[in-house]
């Protein structure tokens, strides 16, 4: 909130909510004002990034001096305002319970088959604010069910409580206005115009916004109950926007992806490409273990030690092709390794530049490189890295490069892998790849391949397009025999006599690596940044010094991270 509100000097007023004092900018609505002192006011239709509709009536409060109850979402804080919520006013509590009973009158109560059950605001609030049986004995109104609104979203008209969040999202955020509310009264129903559909790059966001089970993802309907899933708060690695997500996983399959609120990054939106494509980083055919090219084009298994031995003598001239979605720690570790070995080798990276439509610009960054800024922050590559990347590919094609290490499947774009490149890679003295996808063209051209980990299997730091440092958590379990890039780098360093991580690399996980990084990079350690501080909305790195390298005390500012 504060980022947008503070530049102009807004008058700060004192309000009392349930007897507790709060200081908020004048005009702040009471839901947000109450949040600042830890009082939750229930609401359905209100969303901090959408206009105020005021139709659900759940956020009723009592304000001293006002004759009737009012809705908190549409009441701006003024000096001396005294507010009673359901915690202190029985009238308010009764009104909320009655409102909830009213909202539930025509609700089908089909929780047993509803995907929203378990993360449904109707369930939550009924438990918390009403918890009494309905007195409605008449026939409920029947409406349309299981109507696809477009390629991504399915509507159940009966479950809908007409909060219109989805309508306002399409009107105000995407400005595509596909959705509307037809009919009136108890017959109201959300719909698209005949002959048109809800089909925009952010369309799945309306499902996140839906406080009940009315809108569901066509992709993930009826796959599992949410309480059987492992839910992880992570970061989308589709592009460098770094949207905050909550990923639900069951039995190694991603069964739901939900946007997580972060006002400094993605508000509470997520693009369809990122959401429905989340699992694209898990290849169907995995490389496990390590192997090298054998005679006659065959493969023979090798030990990790063989790979390390092959690499340890190459550090001085090693060319490293980096995926733009490796962890910040891995870029840092590589930079340290090359520095320590006084290497003339280097890392190159592609940003997977792409053009995006004006609608995608709301959220999407014009690249497929979630952590390319991480490589820039540690000084491994410059701002214009694509030129270097293309130069190196040309050199490989001309067979001018002897020692090549490829970290991650996306280090070389599929369209760049031509016959000349494959020949060039095969001709290199040492060519090692840490890869996951057994079907990629790269695997067959390299001298040695080590089964690596997908970005979804690693926890660590990412720096987004706006230089915000965020912590991504692994959302699925990695196969036991795979080796993360950082471990290989560390082991190669140790073998070459540069021990960088003061731990036994074979027995630590990503978390220890991150803690080691935060402690040893002077930029991070000087600011006392810990995983805990990053996890709460991320930390804004200073924008000064475009190529801010490690060790420069260019300064960090802790970004305000409002709680969701």
Partner 1 sequence: MTDNVQVFHINTRATSAKTEPLKVSAEAQKRAQEIIAQYPQKRSAVMPLLYIAQEHTKYITQSAVEWVAAQLEMPPVQIWEVATFYTMYYKKPIGQYHVQVCRTLPCALRGARKVSEYFHKKFGVQPGEVTKDGMWSFEEVECLGSCGTAPMCQINDVFFENLTDEKLDQLVARIEKERPDLRYSTVKDELGAGLAGSPKSEIMKS
Nearest to 42 by CA among 30, 24, 25: 30
141 vs 564 by CB, closer to partner 1 = 141
Site for partner 1, rule CB under 8 A: 139, 142-144, 147-149, 176-185, 187, 189, 191-197
Tell me the C-alpha distance between 374 and 9, whole Å.
Answer: 35
Instruction: Tell me how far, at minimum, the Cβ of 104 lies from partner 1, in Å.
Output: 21
Instruction: Tell me how far, at minimum, the Cβ of 158 lies from partner 1, in Å.
Output: 12
Tell me the C-alpha distance between 438 and 284, whole Å.
Answer: 8
176 vs 473 by CB, closer to partner 1 = 176
Instruction: Tell me how far, at minimum, the Cβ of 203 lies from partner 1, in Å.
Output: 14
Instruction: Tell me how far, at minimum, the Cβ of 419 lies from partner 1, in Å.
Output: 45
Instruction: Tell me how far, at minimum, the Cβ of 181 lies from partner 1, in Å.
Output: 6
The DSSP output letter for 370 is: T
In contact, 1 and 32? CB cutoff 8 Å? yes
Element (H, E) at 304: helix 304-312
Residue 155 pairs in a beta bridge with 147, 215
219 vs 329 by CB, closer to partner 1 = 219
Instruction: Tell me how far, at minimum, the Cβ of 206 lies from partner 1, in Å.
Output: 14
179 vs 333 by CB, closer to partner 1 = 179
Query: For the CA atoms of the chain, what is the radius of gyration?
Result: 27
Instruction: Tell me how far, at minimum, the Cβ of 559 lies from partner 1, in Å.
Output: 36
192 vs 550 by CB, closer to partner 1 = 192
178 vs 263 by CB, closer to partner 1 = 178
C-beta atoms surrounding 347 within 10 Å: 25
Instruction: Tell me how far, at minimum, the Cβ of 106 lies from partner 1, in Å.
Output: 13
133 vs 195 by CB, closer to partner 1 = 195
Distances (CA, A) of 67 to 54, 59, 63, 426: 18, 17, 8, 82
Instruction: Tell me how far, at minimum, the Cβ of 187 lies from partner 1, in Å.
Output: 5
Which tokens is 60 given?
Answer: 């009723």
51 vs 183 by CB, closer to partner 1 = 183
Nearest to 347 by CA among 313, 385, 377, 374: 385
176 vs 394 by CB, closer to partner 1 = 176
Instruction: Tell me how far, at minimum, the Cβ of 179 lies from partner 1, in Å.
Output: 6
Question: Are β-strands 81-84 and 60-63 bridged in parallel, bridged antiparallel, or unpaired?
Answer: antiparallel
Instruction: Tell me how far, at minimum, the Cβ of 358 lies from partner 1, in Å.
Output: 17
199 vs 223 by CB, closer to partner 1 = 199
Instruction: Tell me how far, at minimum, the Cβ of 209 lies from partner 1, in Å.
Output: 17
The DSSP output letter for 29 is: B
Nearest to 62 by CA among 38, 23, 93, 25: 93
201 vs 408 by CB, closer to partner 1 = 201
Tell me the C-alpha distance between 319 and 389, whole Å.
Answer: 11
82 vs 186 by CB, closer to partner 1 = 186
Tell me the C-alpha distance between 85 and 305, whole Å.
Answer: 65
Nearest to 307 by CA among 440, 430, 453, 429: 430
CA dihedral (456, 458, 459, 465) in degrees, to 10, reads -60
In contact, 385 and 350? CB cutoff 8 Å? yes
Q: Give the residue ranges of DSSP H helices in 164-303.
A: 165-168, 205-209, 272-276
Which tokens is 136 given?
Answer: 């409605």
Q: Give the residue ranges of DSSP H helices in 437-530.
A: 441-445, 485-495, 510-520, 522-526
Tell me the C-alpha distance between 194 and 189, whole Å.
Answer: 14
């Amino acid at each position: 909130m504060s980022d947008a509100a503070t530049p102009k000097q807004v008058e700060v007023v004192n309000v009392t909510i349930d007897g507790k004092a709060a200081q908020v900018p004048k005009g702040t609505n009471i839901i947000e004002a109450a949040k600042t002192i830890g009082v939750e006011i229930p609401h359905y239709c209100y969303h901090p990034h959408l206009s105020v509709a005021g139709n659900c009536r759940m956020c009723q409060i009592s304000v001293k001096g006002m004759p009737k109850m009012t809705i908190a979402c549409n009441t701006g804080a003024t000096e001396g305002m005294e507010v009673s919520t359901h915690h202190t006013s029985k009238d308010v509590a009764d009104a909320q319970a009655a409102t909830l009973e009213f909202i539930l009158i025509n609700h089908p109560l089909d929780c047993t088959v509803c995907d929203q059950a378990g993360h449904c605001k109707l369930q939550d609030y009924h438990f918390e604010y009403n918890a009494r049986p309905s007195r409605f004995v008449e026939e409920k109104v029947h409406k349309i069910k299981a109507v696809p609104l477009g390629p991504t979203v399915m509507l159940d008209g009966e479950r809908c409580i007409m909060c219109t969040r989805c309508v306002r999202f399409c009107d105000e955020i995407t400005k595509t206005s596909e959705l509307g509310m037809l009919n009136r009264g108890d017959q109201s129903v959300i719909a698209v115009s005949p002959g048109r559909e809800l089909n925009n790059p952010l369309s799945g966001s309306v499902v996140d916004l839906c406080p009940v089970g009315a809108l569901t993802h066509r992709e993930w309907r009826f796959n599992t109950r949410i309480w059987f899933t492992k839910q992880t708060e992570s970061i989308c690695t589709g592009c460098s926007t770094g949207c905050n997500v909550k990923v639900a996983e069951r039995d190694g399959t991603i069964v739901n992806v939900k946007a997580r609120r972060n006002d400094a990054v993605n508000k509470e939106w997520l693009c369809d490409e990122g959401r429905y494509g989340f699992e694209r980083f898990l290849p169907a055919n995995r490389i496990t273990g390590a192997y090298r090219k054998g005679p006659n084009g065959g493969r023979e298994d090798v030990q990790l030690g063989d790979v390390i031995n092959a690499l340890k003598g190459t550090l001085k001239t090693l060319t490293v092709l980096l995926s733009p979605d490796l962890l910040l720690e891995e870029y840092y570790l590589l930079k340290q390794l090359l520095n320590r070995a006084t290497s003339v080798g280097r890392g190159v990276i592609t940003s997977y530049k792409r053009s995006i439509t004006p609608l995608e610009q709301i959220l999407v960054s014009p690249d497929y490189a979630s952590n390319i800024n991480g490589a820039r922050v540690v000084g491994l590559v410059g701002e214009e890295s694509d030129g270097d990347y293309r130069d190196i590919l040309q050199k490989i094609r001309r067979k001018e490069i002897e020692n090549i290490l490829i970290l991650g499947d996306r280090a070389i774009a599929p369209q760049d892998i031509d016959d000349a490149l494959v020949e060039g890679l095969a001709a290199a003295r040492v060519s090692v790849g840490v890869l996951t996808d057994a079907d990629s063209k790269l695997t067959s051209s390299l001298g040695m391949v080590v089964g690596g980990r997908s970005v979804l299997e690693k926890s660590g730091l990412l720096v987004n397009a706006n230089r915000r440092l965020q912590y991504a958590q692994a959302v699925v379990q990695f196969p036991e025999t795979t080796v993360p890039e950082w471990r290989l780098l560390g082991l190669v360093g140790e073998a070459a006599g540069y021990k960088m991580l003061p731990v036994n690399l074979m027995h630590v996980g990503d978390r220890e690596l991150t803690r080691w990084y935060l402690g040893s990079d002077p930029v991070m350690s000087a600011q006392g940044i810990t995983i805990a501080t990053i996890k709460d909305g991320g930390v804004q790195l200073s924008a000064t010094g475009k190529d801010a390298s490690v060790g420069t005390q260019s300064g960090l500012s802790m970004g305000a991270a409002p709680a969701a």
